[in-house]
Copies of this chain bind each other. A is one copy, B any other.
Amino acid sequence: MNRFGEMHCSIAQAVSVVGEPWTPLILRDLFLGVRRFDDLARDLGVSRNLLTQRLERLMAAGVVSRRPYQERPVRYEYHLTEAGLDIVPALMVIMAWGDKWATPPGGPPAVLVHSCGRPFTPVVACPHCGGPVTADTVTATAGPGAAPGPGTWVLAGGLAPG
């Protein structure tokens, strides 16, 4: 997803890093505590060469890091960096959407429990008023980095709204 990385759009930027096929599931497994290459490959059923590529890209982007858990031969375990941990809430919001609109047969495969002790479905809120963030309660306006270009002509005002 190299083309997306050149767009002046934060969604495109994020997608170019964490939106490639398999990547969200790799991040999910890392969050769940899967640490090793073979475990990731086995759990997901992803081909090993692709897993190598994805982990390399995630490390280059600073989302995942690895450290040796043994020498001779060197074996690494992978885990989320600060940036990687920071994307976990987004994964949970996506999971909640999947639970609601594309429920897998048998019901939700996972239930989230908050540190307050209760199972929950995450909500997205405005930090100022605490109100819900929905398509109806939000407007997007051009920011300082808005520039006309592929994927951003709309925001920069170069494409007449329908």
Contacts and interface: CB of A to CB of B under 8 A. Distances in A.
Interface of A: 1, 4, 7-19, 21, 24-25, 28-29, 31-36, 39, 42-45, 61-63, 77, 80, 83, 85-116, 118, 120-131, 133-147, 150-155, 159, 161-162
18 contacts: A10-B95, A10-B108, A11-B91, A15-B25, A34-B162, A43-B150, A43-B151, A43-B153, A103-B145, A106-B145, A107-B143, A108-B143, A110-B143, A113-B138, A115-B138, A118-B126, A121-B127, A124-B125
B127 A123 contact: yes
Contacts of A4: 25
Contacts of A13: 98, 102-104
B153 A104 contact: no
A155 B32 contact: yes
Contact of A14 (B7, B8, B97): B97
A10 to B, nearest CB: 3
Contact of A32 (B126, B140, B146): B140
Specify how many copies of this chain sit in the oligomer: 2
Given A1-B21, A104-B145, A114-B133, A94 B162 contact: no
Contact of A114 (B10, B39, B112, B131): B131
A112 B93 contact: no
Given A43-B151, A155-B32, A159-B42, A146 B110 contact: yes
A147 B16 CA distance: 31
Given A25-B15, A104-B13, A108-B143, A135 B31 contact: yes
